[in-house]
Structure 1
Amino acid sequence: MEITINLIKELDAQELFEFENENRGFFEKMIPSRGNDYYTWDTFIERHWVLLNEQERGLSHFYLIKDRTGNIAGRINLVDIDLITNEAEIGFRIGEAYVGKGIANRALNLLLYSESTIKKIHAKTTTVNFASQRVLEKNGFIQTKISDEDFEMNAQKMKFVHYLWEKRNFGLEK
């Protein structure tokens, strides 16, 4: 499926709010909840402004993944960007209607090739989120550790799985 990734803008707020609310139950099966407040308009729009401010300052890059008709298929974010070491953390989420179509893999690939200054990217997922693990590994992320501590989510015990991507993994370093 053809997709694009574009940095979020102020005018994306309503559509993004609807996307997050529509997919809340699906997301919360695999990742910890953002809390009930996140899904109210006032809290969401406040957080949206915070994200835009972070992005403007170069501390994070928040991308919307859109299908060829312009609908939001997911999000992919680089956060906690260290402007000195050129390292960041990545997170992504794909809407339920778009799962299994290679969108996360394609979006991550687009991001890795478009972010020219980032040299290392850290990622983590849960031990039960096999789809995210596969996407990370397909794109050159190396598993670095599994956390020692268990936590429970949806009546299931799990741990965090940590990954690292370095630009040289793709032969892109000069």
Structure 2
Amino acid sequence: MVRLERLRAEHSDALLEFERLNREFFARTIPDRGDTYFAEFASNQRDRLAEQDAGVCHFHVVVDEHGDLVGRINLVDVEDGSAELGYRVGERASGRGMATAAVAEVCRLAAEVYGLSALTAKTTLDNPASMAVLVRSGFMIVGDTVINGRPGVRYRREIAVG
């Protein structure tokens, strides 16, 4: 069971801890955020919340059945009824269907709450787990891309507005 919570200032400490604990795990398949990300975390969080308040992004944390923050899932660059999906689930929650459940829930929110009609996503070719989550979640491959110098794939999913 997973629950998405819209990002709030109260999530900052838990989110920073989640990112620190999973930094090495994430770096195996996605570009590392770098030391600056952690040094400027509080300022970046304020910026993310301002973007959310402006309606250009929708940020969420993924919470497990024990109330622990185990991931994050975001809809960014909201424009013309579309947004880009990004997500990460920590090592402890990996392989348990949490990413797939979180993507399903954010697709529902995108349509029913945020009024979006399409989502895009991308991942590197060396991240088969993320590719599988997107395919299981109804995303279709629409082309190739390069992410931080690494070959990748772009996806799109049409969603029904609620």
Helix, strand or coil for the counterpart of 2:22? helix
State how many pairs are aligned: 159
Provide the aligned C-alpha RMSD in A: 1.6
Gaps of 5+ in 2: none
Question: C-alpha separation between the residues in 1 aligned to 2:55 and 2:126?
Answer: 32
Tell me, yes or no, if the aligned pair for 2:119 and 2:158 is still in contact at 8 Å. Answer: yes
Distance 1:160 1:18, change over 3 A: same
**Equivalent residue for 1:155?**
none
Q: 1:159 aligned to 128, 151, 157, which one?
A: 151
Question: C-alpha separation between the residues in 2 aligned to 1:8 and 1:149?
Answer: 26
Tell me, yes or no, if the aligned pair for 2:123 and 2:147 is still in contact at 8 Å. Answer: no
Listed as ranges, the matches of 1:1-174 within 5 Å are: 2-40=1-39, 43-82=40-79, 85-116=80-111, 117-147=115-145, 151=149, 158-167=150-159, 172=160
TM-score, normalised on structure 1? Answer: 0.87
| Structure 1 position 39, deviation (Å) | 1.7
Residues 30-75 of structure 1 show CA distances to partners (whole Å, capped at 9, x for unaligned) of 11111111122xx000000000000011110110000011101100
What letter corresponds to residue 109 of structure 2 in structure 1? S
What letter corresponds to residue 33 of structure 2 in structure 1? R
Residues 68-108 of structure 1 show CA distances to partners (whole Å, capped at 9, x for unaligned) of 111011000000001xx111001000000000000000000
TM-score, normalised on structure 2? Answer: 0.93
Question: C-alpha separation between the residues in 2 aligned to 1:149 and 1:45?
Answer: 26
% identical aligned pairs: 33
Question: C-alpha separation between the residues in 2 aligned to 1:51 and 1:145?
Answer: 29
